Amino acid sequence: MPLNEIIAHARMLSDGTFDKPHLLSDHLSGTASIAEKFSRVFGLQKLGRTLGLTHDLGKASPAFQRRIRLASGFDTEAHLEGKSPGHVDHSTAGAQFLLQHYGPQAGLILAYIVAGHHAGLPDGKGEGDAVLARRLEKTVADYNLILEWLVKQLPPLSPVDFITEKSKKKQLDPFKIQFLIRMLFSVLTDADFLDTEQYMEPLKNRQRKQPITLEKVTGQFDKFLETLKKKEQTKINKDRNRILELCLKAAEQTPGIFSLTVPTGGGKTIASMAFALRHALKHGLRRVIYIIPYTSIITQNAQVFRDIFAPLGRNIVLEHHSNLEPHTENETPFNRLAAENWDAPIIVTTNVRFFESFYANRSSACRRLHNVADSVLIFDEAQMLPPEMMNPSLKVVETLTEEYGCSTVICTATQPALIKSNFLREGLSEVREIIPDPQKLYRDFKRVIVKSLAGKSDIPGLAGKIAEYERVLTIVNTRKEARLLYQELTHRVQADQCFHLSTMMCPKHRGDILRTVRQQLKENLPCRVVSTQLIEAGVDVDFPVVFRAVAGIDSIAQAAGRCNREGKMKTGTLFVFETDTPPPPGHLRHSAESGLYAMKVFPEDVLSLQAVDFYFKDFYNKQYHAHQMDKKHILKACRSTPDAIPFRRISRDFSLINDKTISIIVPYEDGGRETIEKLRNCYQGIVPRDLRRETQRYLVNIREHVFASLYKAGVIEDIFQDGQYLVLINPDIYDSKVGLNPDQPEFLQSESLII
C-alpha cells in the first residue's frame, strides 16, 4: 500500500458521506511539528518531534487500515482507542519501535509516553497486560508500510537531548526522569489532540484564537495601577501602594523562588499580579498562573482580574475549576477550549487542580502541563497545603523552577516554614523575600488586638458574650458547633440579625447569605455571623469584633483579616476562645495544640512574624515527622528505576483532599428545584454541559456513611441510576438557615465534620 493511501482518520460529513481521509504521514508530521514547537520551550524539541512521528505508528498495520475502511461511521472521537468495536491497539507498536531504535535508556523513556498517549501513562511493571513491560513484549501487527518513511524523518538522539535547556543542574536523577516523561506526555497528547482536531473538528479548531500577548496584558494592568494612585490616600491605601512599589521593583530580579509576606488586607492579590506581569515581561515568560486553595477565593480573585482586563476582551483570564456558573460571561468558547491545555495569558486555578495534574497519568489531566513551563506561579495562601502531601507538592515547585524556567511566588499573610530542613526534606531553598522588612510592615498594618478568653466556653456562655456586640463574626471548628451556636444566638437576639455559614449549605445558598451580610455591614445594621473556617478562605468581610475558636496561628491570622480590615477603627478586637469540646482529631487538633503553645510563648503579640515562625516550626516538628510529610510515599515511587515507574499508582495515591465525600443536589429555592426538574427531563440521561455546570451551584458534599443513611431512608434519588446525579427529594431535610438539617436522625452520627 503506497504512503498516500495509509489513513489515520476518516470524518463523516453531515450528508453521511466521508471527507477526504487524513493520511497517517500527514498526521504524524503535523503532530511532530506541533510537539516540536511545544517542547522547544524547555529545549527538548528533538524529543517532541520524535514522539509526534512515532505515536500512531501502529495505524500503519494492515489490521488498522482494514478496520478504518470497513467501519460504517466515525465520530469526533474516532482516533481514541476503544471508541469503536474491534479497535486495534495502535500505541504499543510505536513504544516497541522506540525501544528498539533508541535503546534501553532513551527508548524506554519515550516508550512510556507513546504507549500511554490514549489510555494514560502506564505502570512500568506489575500485574496485568496494561503495564509497560508486558506491552513491550507483546506481538504487534506489522507496520512496515510506513517504516522506511519514518526512519528518514527521525532525528538522532544523545543524552544531552534529555536535559532541559534551563536546567540549573545538568544531570538527570530518577525524579527528573519521571517528571520529564510527564512533561513530554503533555506535549504529545496536546499536539495529537490539536492535529486531530484540525481534521476532525475544523470549526472547533478555528475557535482557538491566538491569546493576547503579555505585553498588552501588562499595559492594561499598568493603566489600572494608575487608577489606584487616584484613590483617597488613607493610611492603609498608602501602605498598600508601598507594597505594590516593592513588588514592581523586585520584579526586575532574576527568575527563581520568591516569598511575599504581606499582612491580610495589604493588597497582595494586586501586588503579586503586578510582580508577576512585570517579571514575566522582563524575562520573556509566557503566562501567569494564580494558584489558590479554595474555589471561594478563586471566584473572587478571578473576577477582580476580569474587571481589570475587561477593556481587552473576555479571553484574558481562564478560571479553571469545577464550580463555574453557566450562562455567564465567565465561560466563553475560548475559555472552554483554553481549559483543555491552559493556553491563556492568565490562569486562575486551585491547589488541587494544579498539583494533582502533575501526579496524574490521564491525558485529559496532563495535557496542560507543558504550558506551565516558562510561567510565573503565584501560590496564594500557601500555608493551606496539606502537610501529608507537602513534600511531593514542594518538589513540583522546585522542579518547575529549576528545570522548566518558572518563577514562583509563595504569597501569604503568614509565611509558613517551607524552607528545606530536617523535617521538611523537600523544602524550598534560595527563597528571596520581596518585602525588605516584613516585620516593620506587620507593625504598620497592625489593626487588631488579640485577646484570649479565660477558661473554656460552652455554647450558652459563648452565645451570651457574642450577643453583647451588634456586628460580630464568630468562627468555630466544626459544623456542629456552628449550628448549635447559631441556634442558641437566635434565642438571645432577633433571628433576622443572625446568619449561619458552613459547607452543609450549597454554594448558591452561601453566596446569598454573604451578599446579605455585606449589605448589613455596609448599612451599619446589626449582623451576627456564625461560620466554620470557610469564611477565612478569602471571603472579604469587615467586622469590628471577631471571635475565633482556638486553632493554628495561620487560621487565627486569617480570622484577624476579617476584623477592622479597612482600618476604619483604631483597632479591632479578636477574641480567641477554647470550647468545652476539643477540636476534631487530626490536622485541626494538631494545629490547635501548636497554636495554644505559641499563644503562651508570645502572649503579647501572637500574630507577630516571630510567633508565626515559631508556630510552624513547632507544628511540623511535633505533629509531623519527616516521613509524614509524604504520607503515601509519592516521592519514593517517583524515584523508582526507569523501568518500574508506577504512574498509575502514583495517580491513585496522590490526593490533596483525603475526605471521601459524595455530592448531592439539594432543592434550594426555586433555582435548585428547577435544576432538578431539568435533570429529570434529560433525554436518555444526556446532560448538556450548561446544565452540568448549573448543578454545581446546588451541590452539598457529604461523607459516604451519611449518604448511605440518607439513601437507606429513601430521601435520595439516583436520577439516572448511575450514581452521577444524586438528588435530595425530601425538602424538609434542607433548612433555609443552616442547609442540610443535622437534626434529622440520619445525621446524628456525622457530627465530626469540620467546615
What pLDDT score was predicted for residue 432? 94
What pLDDT score was predicted for residue 750? 41
Q: Which amino acid is at 117?
A: H
Alpha helices of 446-560 — where are they, by DSSP H? 459-466, 479-490, 507-522, 553-560
Give CA–CA dist 234/392, Å, rounded: 43
Q: For 140-184, how does the pLDDT look when each residue is reduced to its tens digit (9 = 90+)? A: 888 888 999 999 999 999 999 999 998 878 888 999 999 999 999
Give CA–CA dist 521/544, Å, rounded: 10
Backbone φ/ψ region at 241: left (φ over 0), alpha (ψ -120 to 50), beta: alpha
What pLDDT score was predicted for residue 73? 46
Which pLDDT band, with edges at 50, 70 and 90, does 738 fall under?
very high
Residue 500's Cβ-side half-sphere holds a number of Cα atoms within 13 Å equal to 27
Helix, strand, coil percent values for the chain (each to nearest 5):
50, 15, 35
What pLDDT score was predicted for residue 360? 96
What residue ranges in 505-653 does DSSP mark as E strands?
527-531, 545-549, 572-579
Assigned C-alpha cell, 636: 519514593
Beta-carbon contacts of residue 34 (< 8 Å; ≥ 6 apart): 52, 190, 191, 194, 195
Q: For 175-214, how does the pLDDT look when each residue is reduced to its tens digit (9 = 90+)? A: 999 999 999 999 999 999 999 999 888 878 777 777 789 9
Which pLDDT band, with edges at 50, 70 and 90, does 627 fall under?
low
What pLDDT score was predicted for residue 74? 41
SS3 244: helix
Give CA–CA dist 634/626, Å, rounded: 13
Question: How many other C-beta atoms lie within 10 A of the C-beta of residue 17?
Answer: 7
- DSSP letter string, 409-442: EEEESS----B--SS-TT-B-SEEESSS-HHHHH
What mean pLDDT is predicted for residues 296-312?
85
What pLDDT score was predicted for residue 77? 41
Question: Of 47-61, 84-98, 215-229, which range is least confident?
Answer: 84-98
Give CA–CA dist 587/649, Å, rounded: 25
Assigned C-alpha cell, 18: 466521508
Q: Distances in Å between the alpha carbon of 661 and those of 77, 503, 702?
A: 31, 12, 5
Give CA–CA dist 535/696, Å, rounded: 19
What pLDDT score was predicted for residue 623? 67
Beta-carbon contacts of residue 402 (< 8 Å; ≥ 6 apart): 167, 168, 169
Query: Which is more confidently placed, 537 or 326?
Result: 537
Give CA–CA dist 91/360, Å, rounded: 19
- DSSP letter string, 172-209: --HHHHHHHHHHHHHHHHHHHHHHHHHHH-HHHHHT-P
Flag whether pLDDT at 305 surpasses 90.
Answer: yes
Query: Which is more confidently placed, 381 or 305?
Result: 305
What pLDDT score was predicted for residue 202? 83
Question: Of 405-419, 536-550, 651-665, which range is least confident?
Answer: 405-419
The mean pLDDT of the chain is 88
Q: For 413-472, how does the pLDDT look when each residue is reduced to its tens digit (9 = 90+)? A: 666 667 777 666 778 888 999 999 988 888 888 899 999 998 999 999 999 999 999 999
Domains of the chain listed by start with CATH number: 3-206 (1.10.3210), 215-441 (3.40.50.300), 447-606 (3.40.50.300), 661-747 (no CATH)
What pLDDT score was predicted for residue 418? 74
Flag whether pLDDT at 327 surpasses 70.
Answer: no
Q: For 459-510, how does the pLDDT look when each residue is reduced to its tens digit (9 = 90+)? A: 999 999 999 999 999 999 999 999 999 999 999 999 999 999 999 999 999 9
Give CA–CA dist 474/468, Å, rounded: 13
Q: How far is CA 108 from the centre of its chain?
A: 31
Assigned C-alpha cell, 457: 466556653
Residue 199's Cβ-side half-sphere holds a number of Cα atoms within 13 Å equal to 28
Confidence (pTM): 0.88
Which pLDDT band, with edges at 50, 70 and 90, does 626 fall under?
low
What pLDDT score was predicted for residue 87? 67
Q: Which amino acid is at 301?
A: N
Task: Map grid coordinates 519514593 to a residue.
Answer: 636
Q: For 62-73, how does the pLDDT look when each residue is reduced to its tens digit (9 = 90+)? A: 888 888 887 634
Beta-carbon contacts of residue 461 (< 8 Å; ≥ 6 apart): none
Dihedral angle sign, alpha carbons of residues 659, 663, 667, 671: positive
Assigned C-alpha cell, 746: 440520619
Task: Map grid coordinates 488613607 to a residue.
Answer: 234
Instruction: Determine which helix (DSSP H) or strand (DSSP E) holds 734, and give its type and residue range.
Output: strand 734-735
Q: For 578-604, how does the pLDDT look when each residue is reduced to its tens digit (9 = 90+)? A: 998 888 888 889 899 999 999 999 998
Highest average pLDDT, of 44-48, 162-166, 713-717, comes from 44-48
Flag whether pLDDT at 326 surpasses 60.
Answer: no
Which pLDDT band, with edges at 50, 70 and 90, does 749 fall under?
very low
Dihedral angle sign, alpha carbons of residues 261, 267, 272, 274: negative
Flag whether pLDDT at 76 surpasses 60.
Answer: no
Flag whether pLDDT at 513 surpasses 80.
Answer: yes
Report whether 645 contacts 132 (CB < 8 A). no
Report whether 114 contacts 121 (CB < 8 A). no
What mean pLDDT is predicted for residues 546-557?
94
